[in-house]
A and B are shown apart, each in its own frame.
Chain A
Amino acid sequence: MNVIYFIFQQTMFFSIPLMIVALGGMFSERSGIINIALEGIMTMGAFTSILFLNLTGGKMSGQSQLLLAIVISMVTGGVFSLFHAYAAINMKADQTISGTALNMFAPAFAIFVARIIQGVQQIQFTNTFRIDSVPVLGSIPVIGPLFFKNTYITTFIGVGILIISTIVLYRTKFGLRLRACGEHPQAADAAGINVYHMQYAGVIISGMLGGLGGLVFVVPTSTNFNATVSGYGFLALAVLIFGQWKPVKIMWASLFFGLTKAIAASYSGIAFLSNLGIPSYLFKMIPYIATLVVLIFTSRNSQAPRAEGIPYDKGAR
């Protein structure tokens, strides 16, 4: 039983950032803007917030420091994504190009600034945020160890974001308008919706969640930030497509990927898996192979938002 709890907790560390970032990407793509810049946005969000943790370590610690860092990562991501929004919406640029530019800019900027501020590119931080056991809830049998032990506040924020995203996308006027812009912006415009505003909103939300995802990815898995989020932005893109641009499916996709990833990362500590004699590289490859195989069976009816990637031109018909 302990093994199951352990794997589940590990899965959360991998799944939650993927889910947050993929949900962010969903808001952007549902508004019609492809956001391939998620990797760069994650890097920027992680960079400023980890820098904040580094600078305020010693003076501050614990959950309040983490909450402030969360705010900083979201603001950074939101601001950074404005570059993408401006290029894609105002300048009608090719969205892949401006996204790639942002992806390239972020790590270079993070290293450059870190070197200026502190001489080396790695930013250290002290992890004082792990919650051993949530009071009361942690002592519930089964559910306690699964959800409320050895966890981070960011996990609950991630779950909150999932719930809010689902409601916003399907149960609010805003969500309906956003989806309309991604499917048929001309029709949305004719119905009186300001397409540009909706697309800006979509991209900024994706930036905020992307930045947050960067922080959430780094905190549980490392003690320093080295200007990279190890391709998680691209993986989130994969999870987004895997999850068919729908919040609940994105959750399942990220859980699936996170579980395989968690097994790969911790199999050597689990007796029955390490006894199988499977080489460690095969374990590392399984998440990616499994995703490909699942995609083969699920992609046939894949439907991306119709107007995705096409710059909205008011005059076009």
Chain B
Amino acid sequence: MKNKKQIDFSGALSSIFAILIGLLVGLIVLLLCNSKQAVPGFMMILTGSLTHGLKGIGQVFYYATPIILTGLSVGFAFKTGLFNIGASGQFIVGGFGAVFVGIMCKNLGGVHWIVALAASVVFGAVWGFVPGFLKAHFNVNEVIASIMMNYIGMYAVNWTVKGYKPLFNNLRNESNTVAVTAQIPKMGFDKIFPGSSVNGGFLIAIVVIILIYLLLNKTTFGYELKAVGFNKDASKYAGINEKKSIILSMTIAGAISGLAGGLLYLAGTGKHIEIVDTLASEGFSGISVALLGVCHPIGILFAGIFIAYLTAGGFYLQLFEFSTEIIDIIIAVIIYFSAFALIVKTMIAKTRQRKEIKKEQEGGKKA
């Protein structure tokens, strides 16, 4: 028990170490570009999201909601030994499912938004199921299958939205607005953070985080999923149905990403599916969030909020004539150094060992 705690602690410590280095690199880049504006600009990155008080904090939670879930999707798959690079496709397909129900099924009344969200989960799950199924039964590498599914999903969504009149807003080249009943209720967030876009979706994201945490750590099913991730053959030998595990793991990951899409496009903030031939960036942000959160559900929650916090602060950077890309640079550096976690962990372990040896030696002298 004690041992486990120590590991968690060093994991967080290495993330903090990475964050500090990332911020330092950001500061240096700003100094190199424009030394006069650098310090105020840097302060803006750190505190910019707070400039509008509670509204600003609400916005951070709003931005964080989808990337927390795509991050959870990637992180969950990682825990079970799979690299879900397909969060992008699952996200947009899920978003499409939500928008479709949101526009087409107008007579559902109070449960409209719940049905729409359920549709996003199902659509995303289907998109995750395909690479899982192909991996389990045909040994198709899940990375390449997911990449292909990303593009297929993006084109399929664009095609359907553009081709089906009720869904398409011709003037703005994007999907139509969903019915008011399909929008996710504010659940009191509009009172806590007045004027911001945050809504009940954030709460739903936290609930999903907790569910996945419980699933992975407190259930036999979660244990099986992780076991297959560690060693497929040994798990099979131990009587676990490894094919079923792989398929279910990818399906769940897809469902989570799909929900992320649903939560974003049902937020009622004027966000529509744009008909452009580029993959949804939320899926790739999810990889960053998952990695920064060391693939632990709670870590992912904080990582998502942190990245959203930096991004929101970055919007104000243009006041100082810096491009907002500096935020991406900082996040990239943070992720790069968080990859050094192993080294930091061994460093911590070594100093601990040394201290213990010293203690023992001192104790020995006294005796």
Point out residues on A near B: beta carbons under 8 Å: 83, 87, 91-94, 96-98, 100-105, 107-109, 111-112, 115-116, 230-231, 234-235, 237-238, 241-242, 279, 281-282, 284-285, 287-289, 291-292, 295-296, 299-302, 304, 311
Contact = CB atoms under 8 A, between A and B. Distances in A.
A109 B325 CA distance: 7
Contact of B134 (A101, A281, A282, A292): A292
A299 B325 contact: no
Contacts of B85: 234
Interface of B: 29, 33, 83, 85, 134, 138-141, 143-145, 147-149, 151-152, 155-156, 158-159, 162-163, 277-279, 284, 287-288, 291, 323, 325-329, 331-333, 335-336, 338-343
B237 to A, nearest CB: 20
Contacts of B148: 238, 288-289, 291-292
Nearest to B328: A108
Contacts of B278: 230
A96 B83 contact: yes
Nearest to B326: A112
11 contacts: A93-B342, A101-B332, A105-B328, A108-B326, A112-B326, A234-B85, A237-B147, A242-B144, A279-B159, A300-B138, A302-B141
A292 B145 contact: yes
Contacts of A300: 138-139
A235 B152 CA distance: 13
A104 B328 contact: yes
Contacts of B338: 97
Given A112-B325, A285-B151, A300-B138, A92 B144 contact: no
Nearest to B157: A281
B230 to A, nearest CB: 13
B70 to A, nearest CB: 13
Contacts of A289: 148, 152
A291 to B, nearest CB: 6
A238 B139 CA distance: 14
Given A234-B147, A288-B151, A98 B332 contact: no
Contacts of A238: 143-144, 147-148
A-B residue pairs, 3 tightest by C-beta: A108-B328, A281-B159, A105-B332
A241 B144 contact: yes
Nearest to A283: B155
Contacts of B147: 231, 234-235, 237-238
A241 B329 contact: no
Contact of A237 (B144, B162, B277, B327): B144
B340 A93 contact: yes
Given A100-B291, A100-B335, A285-B152, A91 B328 contact: no
A295 B140 contact: yes
A87 B344 CA distance: 13
Given A83-B336, A111-B325, A281 B155 contact: yes
Contacts of B339: 87, 91, 93-94, 97-98, 101
Given A87-B339, A295-B134, A295-B140, A100 B288 contact: yes
Contacts of B329: 105, 108-109, 112
A142 to B, nearest CB: 34
B139 A98 contact: no
Contacts of B333: 101, 105
B150 to A, nearest CB: 8
B267 to A, nearest CB: 25
A267 B117 CA distance: 38
Given A100-B291, A111-B325, A285-B151, A299 B343 contact: no
A116 B336 CA distance: 24
A237 B288 contact: no
Contacts of B288: 100, 104
Q: Which of B85, B151, B331 has the most CB of A within 10 A?
A: B151
Contacts of A230: 278
B81 to A, nearest CB: 11
Nearest to B134: A296
A97 B335 contact: yes
A227 B155 CA distance: 22
A140 B156 CA distance: 43
Contacts of B331: 104
A285 B144 contact: no
A43 B257 CA distance: 27
Contacts of A288: 148-149, 151-152, 155
Nearest to A284: B155
Given A101-B339, A107-B328, A112-B325, A296 B140 contact: yes
Given A93-B340, A234-B85, A281-B159, A111 B323 contact: yes
A109 B33 CA distance: 13
Given A100-B335, A108-B332, A279-B163, A241 B325 contact: no
Contact of B336 (A101, A111, A115, A285): A101
B343 A91 contact: yes
Given A109-B329, A279-B163, A92 B342 contact: yes
A104 B335 contact: yes
A304 B335 CA distance: 26
Contacts of B139: 299-302
A87 B336 contact: yes
B290 to A, nearest CB: 9
B156 A285 contact: yes
A107 B331 CA distance: 13
B159 to A, nearest CB: 4
Contacts of B140: 292, 295-296, 299, 302
Nearest to A39: B284
A115 B155 contact: no
A109 B342 CA distance: 27
A104 B341 CA distance: 19
A295 B291 CA distance: 29
Nearest to B78: A96
Contact of B340 (A91, A108, A279, A299): A91
A240 B81 CA distance: 21
Contacts of A291: 144, 148
Contact of A295 (B145, B279, B328, B343): B145
A98 B145 contact: no
B136 to A, nearest CB: 12
